[in-house]
Amino acid sequence: MNRVELVRWAAWAPDIATQEEWQAWARAPRPIVGSGSPEVRFLPGLQRRRCDALSRTMLEVAHGCCPEPLLSEVACVFATRHGPFSTTVAMLQDLATGSPLSPARFTHSVHNAPAGLFSIWAHNPRASSSLAGGAETFAHGFLEAAALLHREPERPVLFVTADESPPEPFDSIADPGAGAYGVALLLEIGDGGGALEFSLRQAPGVLTPLAWPDALEFLRWWITGEERLILGRGTRAWTWTRRD
C-alpha cells in the first residue's frame, strides 16, 4: 500500500480541454474520438516546431498541471503505450522507399522525446523516466511515479501519460477506443485533501472496460468522488482508494 497525494491534474483530448469540460465528461463519459494535438502556444516557435503530436500533447498537459515555479524542479514520469507513433511510422515509410532519414526526425522518434523536450523547455535537470506498459501503461506509469517519489521524496513528481491515435496501417490492428488523449497528475508525499492509497492486488477476472483509456477512467473516478477505483488486466487489480 503506497500513499500519495494528488495535488493537481490537467487533461486534453481532441474535443475536451478545459477543467469544466472534463467535469462534464466525467459525469457523462463517452469514448474519445478523433486525432489532432493541442497548440502549445506557450512554447517558443522553434521548440514548438520540433514537437510532434505526442510531444505537444504531453507538454500541453504538463504545462497545464505543473505550477510555474515547480517546472524546473519536479522529477517526471512520461508513460505512453505507443510513443511517438506517427513520427516512427513516417521513418519506417522512408526506410521502405529507400529515402534517407531526417536526423531531426530520428532524434525526435525516441520514446523519451517528450521527456527530453520537456526537460529542455523547462530547464529541468532532474531524473525522468519514460515507459510503456501495454494496456496497463497508466497503472505502470503511476507505479513508476510512486517509485520516483520514494527515491526523491522532497519534491513532487509530475506524471504525464498520453497517446496518439494510431496511424495507418497500424490503426487497423490497435485496440479499439484508441483516440488521442493526455493526462498529467502532480503527485507528492502528503496527507492533504488529495490523499489516496495505491496498491496492486491479485484478483483474477477483473477487466477494465476499453471504451476509453485507463488514464481517463482514473480521471473520471477522481472527479466524481467515488471511493475506490480498480483497473484490472490479467490477474492484476490496480486499486486506488481515496483517503481525504
Partner 1 sequence: MVNALGSSLDEIWPRLVAGDQSRLRLRDDLVPGQALRFGEVAGELAAIPTALAAYACRANRLGLSAYTGIRDSVESSKARFGAARIGVVVGSSTGGIAEAQAALAQWSRSGSMPESFRLVQLEFGGMAEFLAGIAGLEGPRYTLSTACSASAKALVSARTLLELDVCDAVVAGGVDTLCGLTANGFVALQAVAKDLTNPMSRNRSGITLGEGAALFLVMRERGGVQLLGAGESSDAHHMSAPDPEGKGAEACMRAALADAGLEPGAIAYVNLHGTGTPQNDATESAALERVFGRPIPCSSTKPLVGHALGASGALEAGICWMMLRRRDGARIAAPPHRWDGVRDPDLPPLALVPEATWIHAPPPAAIMSNSFGFGGSNCSVILAEEPE
Stretch that binds partner 1, among 10-18, 141-149, 206-214, 218-226 (CB under 8 A): 141-149
CB of 212 to partner 1, least distance (A): 19
Per-residue b/e over 116-145, b at no fewer than 16 CB within 10 Å? Answer: bbbbebbebebebbbbebeebbbbbbbbbb
Nearest to residue 242, comparing CAs of 203, 193, 204?
193
CB of 25 to partner 1, least distance (A): 26
Q: Which is nearer to partner 1, 33 or 92 (CB)?
A: 92
Cβ atoms within 10 Å of 46's Cβ, excluding its own: 7
**Contact present, 32 and 181 (Cβ < 8 Å):** yes
User: Among 56, 63, 108, 220, which residue sits at the site for partner 1 (rule: CB under 8 A)?
Assistant: 108
User: Among 37, 124, 161, 239, which residue sits at the site for partner 1 (rule: CB under 8 A)?
Assistant: 124
CB of 53 to partner 1, least distance (A): 17
Task: Kindly report the backbone phi and psi dihedral angles of residue 189, in degrees, each rounded to the nearest multiple of 5, phi listed first.
Answer: -75, 120
Nearest to residue 202, comparing CAs of 237, 232, 173, 172?
237
User: Among residue numbers 197 through 226, which ones bind partner 1 (CB under 8 A)?
Assistant: 200, 202
Nearest to residue 170, comparing CAs of 111, 54, 88?
88
Does position 63 interact with partner 1 (CB under 8 A)? The reply is: no
The residues that touch partner 1, with contacts defined as CB under 8 A, are: 2, 50, 81-83, 88-89, 91-93, 95-98, 100-103, 106-113, 115-117, 119-120, 122-134, 136-137, 140, 143-144, 146-148, 150-151, 166, 169-170, 173-174, 200, 202, 234-236
